[in-house]
Chains A and B, each alone.
Chain A
Amino acid sequence: MASTFHLTIITPERTFFEGDVSFSEFTTEEGRVGIYPGHEALTLMLAPGVLLIRSGNEDRKAAMHKGFAEILPDRVTVLAQIAEWPEEIDRNRAEEDRIKAERALQEDGSSAKDEIRLRRAIARIEASKG
């Protein structure tokens, strides 16, 4: 069996990543899922969280918000609405967002939107930790 699979990550604005990788980890609605080559056909819904890409011995992290992944044995296509490399993330802004969202959640009129905002901020912070 091949030791790599072809990973393509595309957002509406750009092709975020394309290349052969040996392992990848996604954050889904159900928790974190790791994908090795030769995985059976699967469609996953992604939740805001950290994406891990391993090619060779190198690990790369990225923040990803909402999207879905189509997994086939030899290739994986991720269509994300937003994806960011750690160097593109403004850490301070993410911290600020996290605090704002947490505060909003403690008030009574909090909504699902605040929840999502909090999860996005945490995803950004996690990814930028490197």
Chain B
Amino acid sequence: MASMRDIKRRRESIQSTEQITKAMMLVATVKLQKARQKAEASRPYTNALYRTVGEILRRTDETAHKYLKHPGEGKKAVILITGNRGLAGGYNMNAVRMVLDGPFDRENTVIYTIGRKGQEMLRARGYECRDDWSEVVNAPLYKDAISITQTVLDRFEASEISEIWLVYTEFKNTVVHVPKCQRMIPVAPEDEHVAAAMEEEREDVLPMNYEPNDEEVLNRLIPQYMASVLYGALLQAVASENGARMTAMDNATDNAEEMIEKLGLQYNRARQGSITQELTEIIAGRNAVT
């Protein structure tokens, strides 16, 4: 049986760990609230965007457009949104797993990471990771989404890559976060949001007119669409990260409490044991003398 001193020391160490996890949980809770507000405020925009773009594409037969036509052979680019820090349960790993299990082989994939954790994990697995915007995760701005989109689209224009995918974690509610993998370019009607918009109101399909002309409009519209999708994804990912961290730290605090309680019992038992032993020894000693 462990000595009283060992048990006491162990209990103290767990107590200080509990203080840390508790503090982390509180911080994550506050951050989650902020992030969730932002994510929810941006949702009408993102939904309207999906619907509008879906509707525009439904009325368009411009399938030969460079952003819409089916890709040739070439590298795939993946924009991966993860956190900069760990201790958030499975949050980072689940997003990374979407890449590992997705249709991306090591030779033909370029990864653009937003968030350091994803970059570290994919580098270690031999993927090619280019530019890194880890700072963005701390406080995503619409401006960041525009500049990231621009950088990746420039590579697309230069024919270095033929497809652009986005991997992020969708925020359903505080405890449910779903990692998502979706293709941004070519804009795919099989994209569930766009497809849902296309399903609706099929009967009143008016042909769409464009001002100045359809090619020009799509040239401008699609990058804006991408930037907005990315911005929405960033906000959701940040909310998910804090939600995941909050849950993980809440569990850690609970576990610590449970262990402290158990060790407290053990400690008391050990103390009682040593008292009993001492008494037995004194009585035995006295018996021997008399």
Chain A residues in contact with chain B, CB under 8 A? 8, 10-15, 28-30, 33, 40-45, 66-68, 70, 72-73, 77, 79, 81
Contacts and interface: CB of A to CB of B under 8 A. Distances in A.
9 contacts: A12-B42, A13-B45, A42-B209, A43-B56, A43-B209, A45-B211, A67-B224, A72-B206, A77-B51
B100 interface: no
A8 B211 contact: no
Contacts of A14: 41
Contacts of A67: 224
Contacts, number: 72
Interface string B190-228: 000000000000000011111110001100110010001
A2 B52 CA distance: 22
A45 B221 CA distance: 8
A68 B221 contact: yes
Nearest to B48: A10
Contact of A79 (B45, B210, B217, B220): B45
Interface of B: 41-42, 44-45, 48-49, 51-52, 55-56, 59, 142, 206-212, 216-217, 220-221, 224, 228, 231-232
A68 B44 contact: no
B224 A81 contact: yes
A40 B210 CA distance: 11
Contacts of A29: 211-212
A70 B142 contact: no
A117 B3 CA distance: 73
A41 B211 CA distance: 11
A68 B42 contact: no
A44 B210 CA distance: 6
Contact of A81 (B142, B207, B211): B142
A30 B52 CA distance: 21
Contacts of B52: 70, 77, 79
A13 B49 CA distance: 13
Nearest to B47: A10
A15 B44 contact: yes
A75 to B, nearest CB: 11
Contacts of A44: 211, 217
B58 to A, nearest CB: 11
Contact of B55 (A12, A33, A70): A70
Contacts of A11: 45
Nearest to A71: B209
A79 B48 contact: yes
B220 A45 contact: yes
Contacts of B48: 8, 10, 77, 79
